[in-house]
Amino acid sequence: MKGTHLGEFQEIVLLTILVLDDDAYGVTIKREINQRVKRSISRGALHTALTRLEEKGFITSKQGETNPERGGRPKRYYTVSNRGIEALQEAKELRDQLWSQIPKLKLQQPYTG
Considering beta carbons, is residue 73 or 92 the nearer one to other proteins?
73
Per-residue contact flags (x/-) with other proteins for residues 4 to 33, judged by CB under 8 A: ---------------------xxx--x---
CB 20 within 8 A of CB 28: yes
Q: Report CA-CA distances (Å) from 96 to 14, 43, 91.
A: 19, 32, 9
Among 5, 36, 76, 95, contact with other proteins (rule: CB under 8 A): 76
Distance CA 104, CA 100 (A): 10
Write the single-letter amino acid at 15. L
Q: Which of residues 32-61 bind other proteins (CB under 8 A)?
A: 42-45, 47-48, 51
Considering beta carbons, is residue 55 or 93 the nearer one to other proteins?
55
